[in-house]
Amino acid sequence: MSYTSKGRENQIAIALARCATSVKRADDSRWEFSLANGKPLGVSACLIEDWLVFDALITNRITRGAWWDLLRLNAAVDGLSKFVLTPDEDSQNLHLRAEIPLQEDEDSGDECANKTDGGLTTRVLETCAGLKAAFRSFRGESFVEHQVPASFETLEGRDPKPAEELRRLCGDSGWRFIERSEGRLMIELDVRRGFYQAAVEQRPAGAEIVVEIASSDALTETSRQALSLLLLGTGALVKLARPSIVQTGEQVSIRFEVKFVSTPTAAELAHAFSSLSVACALSGQEARVLQDEATARDYLAILGAQTSISASYGSD
């Protein structure tokens, strides 16, 4: 193991110790711990190539009629956390996930790297707070805003021109953009099978990147279940990209998003744009097709979606 890798792992272990009372080292690149927030949440954190991946199995007993609600929950979650589904024989496992892209300069000791809010320690603290808040929301408890130590204040508190900073960061990411309005930038994603634009907007805390892949005002229950399975499954496959829906009356916006609690670095924005591109390529056209009742029914049948499970959404 290189000195740089060892330093990164030590940094992760120290950050995790600030989030949990007991952190167990499972192996050289994996940690297990519990986040106390009402009912304890068992979480693993694993280094996978250039990513730190957090995962918590919530339940393998959830009705498919509740999948749509998970997409609503995702829309309300801040930070990098997301609810996803993974298949397991005759059921779908519900996981709470988060992925942090690791940056090359995080172990360099560089002054700029240490001050950047996208630093590894800051992201670990934010992510653990976000996982706890998302779990509380899933259990129907009051949603708790992220609490990050004061020493890791966001750039917004120091930068008098956040919109200008966002333009600079998007430019440094290497992705072209156009500015629609003050603080709202449009990025054309890299998708061969269609045209998708992600909107990048400054938020009071951090930044939000959203791409709409489909919309509808007439979805049947079967189509909602099929779309939920598609989107939540894609969220499990593609790092960073979080599937969600926003509903106004009967109008539903189906989308993928990435939300940063504090100002992202240019490298993090580049990862977000790439991840959203992959998510759109995997499910963009499919999301439109599954709005058809017959196609949605066939999709659910082919994937063997369960039809009768005793447990309900949000159960212990």
Q: Residue 6 has what pLDDT?
A: 78
Q: What is the mean pLDDT of residues 288-296?
A: 96
- Does residue 107 surpass a pLDDT of 80? no
pLDDT over 70 percentage in the chain: 82
Residue 310 lies in a domain: no
Residue 200 lies in a domain: yes
| Cβ count near 72 (within 10 Å) | 13
Q: What is the mean pLDDT of residues 94-100?
A: 97
- Does residue 13 surpass a pLDDT of 70? yes
Residue 18 lies in a domain: yes
- Does residue 185 surpass a pLDDT of 50? yes
Q: Domains in the chain: how many in total?
A: 1
Q: Which of 22-31, 136-145, 235-244 has the highest mean pLDDT?
A: 235-244
Q: Are 253 and 199 in contact (CB under 8 A)?
A: no
Q: Are 185 and 170 in contact (CB under 8 A)?
A: yes
Q: Please provide the DSSP assignment of the chain as one string.
A: --HHHHHHHHHHHHHHHTT-S-EEEEETTEEEEEE-SSS-EEEEEEEETTEEEEEEEEES---GGGHHHHHHHHHH--TT-EEEEEEETTEEEEEEEEEEE--GGGGS--HHHHH-TTSHHHHHHHHHHHHHHHHHHHTTPPP------GGG--GGGT-S-HHHHHHHHHHHTT--EEEEETTEEEEE---TTS--EEEEEE-SSSEEEEEEEEEES---HHHHHHHHHHHHHHHHHSSS-EEEEEEETTEEEEEEEEEESSPPPHHHHHHHHHHHHHHHHHHHHHHHHTTSHHHHHHHHHHTT--S--S--TT--
- Distance of alpha carbon 72 from alpha carbon 70, whole angstroms: 5
- Distance of alpha carbon 140 from alpha carbon 134, whole angstroms: 10
pLDDT over 90 percentage in the chain: 62
Residue 308 lies in a domain: no
Q: Residue 150 has what pLDDT?
A: 38
| Residue 186: domain span | 3-302
Residue 202 lies in a domain: yes
- Does residue 93 surpass a pLDDT of 70? yes
Residue 204 lies in a domain: yes
- Does residue 188 surpass a pLDDT of 90? yes
Q: Residue 305 has what pLDDT?
A: 54
Q: Give the confidence band of 104 by pLDDT, cuts at 50, 70, 90.
A: low
What pLDDT, in 10s, does the model give residues 35-73? 987 788 999 999 998 999 999 999 988 888 899 999 999
What pLDDT, in 10s, does the model give residues 224-252? 999 999 999 999 999 999 999 999 888 99
In terms of C-beta density within 10 A (0-12 exposed, 13-18 middle, 19 or more buried), how is residue 95 classed?
A: buried
